[in-house]
Each structure stands twice: as structure tokens, then as C-alpha cells.
Amino acid sequence: MRVLKYAILGLLEQEKQTGYDIAAAFKGALGQFWSAKHSQIYPELKKLVAEGLIEFETVIQGEKLEKKLYSLTVAGEAELKEWMQRLEAVDVSHKDEFMLKTFFISSMEKEEAKELFSNQLDSRKRKLDELGRILTELEAEFGSNIVFSSPEFGHYLVLTRAIEREKGYIQWLERSLQFME
């Protein structure tokens, strides 16, 4: 399944965007749980246009710069809605290189393993701090206006889940380090 397709459709459902805007979204809020590179985004945009799910208009920025401003078509809205309503099984294909290393940890020396886990713990704590900062900014900007119908609601839910994920990961890393002693 081309999940990137649905990420782009969802972004365009919120507002018209350029390819640059879409790529920036993957470095921002979407980047907390999904990644895509320019080399993936632009070919996907071409496919979506060819499939009639999105369209674009060429706009001029400044004196000469032409940009494509993408928007959803009626067919794109229907495709997005159908995907949103589809019930999926739990995705078990998540790739986590650290967990792969952990699976083979017996191949390491104990001190190397502790260093690996300590490094991951520090990284996860930094990530948790960053997520907390983003949540504080979101709550400061929107406060009690974050309701189900607001575009920020989904970001709020994903952000609070990411925070819980990092807290759980940190607890597991701390317990694992203690167990290594």
C-alpha cells in the first residue's frame, strides 16, 4: 500500500500546498511518526495527478518563480475518506534498528551494551524534551481551542502518543540498564 499517498492527500485536505510545503510537513509535525524524502514526495505527487486524485495550478512567486500549488480533487477527497474509514490490523512491520541490535546483544561485550543503551537513553530523553516543548507551544497557541473539529486535534493526539511512547521507552531502557548490572 502506498501510505505516502494518503499522507499527501491528508495534507492537501487541510489546505492547498506546494511540494516544498508538503516536504516541510514531514520535517515538522508529521516527522514525529512518519518520514518521507523529497525523492519520494515529488514522484508521488506526479502519480496522484495522473490518477486524478490531486490537481495543481501554477502560481508566480516574486517576479519569475513558478510554483505548483496542489489541491485535492473530489476523487482525492473520496479516496482519503475511504482510507480513513478502513479498519486496519496492527502494523507489525515497524523497523527499529536499535531493537535489532538489542536482539543480538549477546554478541557484544557488557560494557559496549551498556554504552549502547546509555546512548539510546540520552537520545530518547532529548526527544522527550523536544516533544514536551512542542506540546507546550501547541497548548499555548491553541489552548482550549483544540477540539475534535480543529486541524490541531490530530496533531495533539499524535504528539501526546509520541510523548507516552518515549516515556515508556525511557523506562524500559532504565530497567534494562539496571538488569545489565
Instruction: Write the CB contacts of 163 (distance below 8 Å, at least 6 apart in sequence).
Output: 128, 131, 132, 135
- Per-residue pLDDT for 135 more than 80? yes
Question: Tens digit of pLDDT for each residue in 9-56?
Answer: 999 998 999 999 999 998 887 887 788 899 999 999 999 999 999 999
- Per-residue pLDDT for 151 more than 80? no
Average pLDDT over residues 84-93: 72
**Mean pLDDT across the chain:** 89
Residue 130 CA to residue 137 CA, distance in Å, equals 11
- Residue 112 in contact with residue 180, Cβ under 8 Å? no
Instruction: Write the CB contacts of 99 (distance below 8 Å, at least 6 apart in sequence).
Output: none
pTM: 0.73
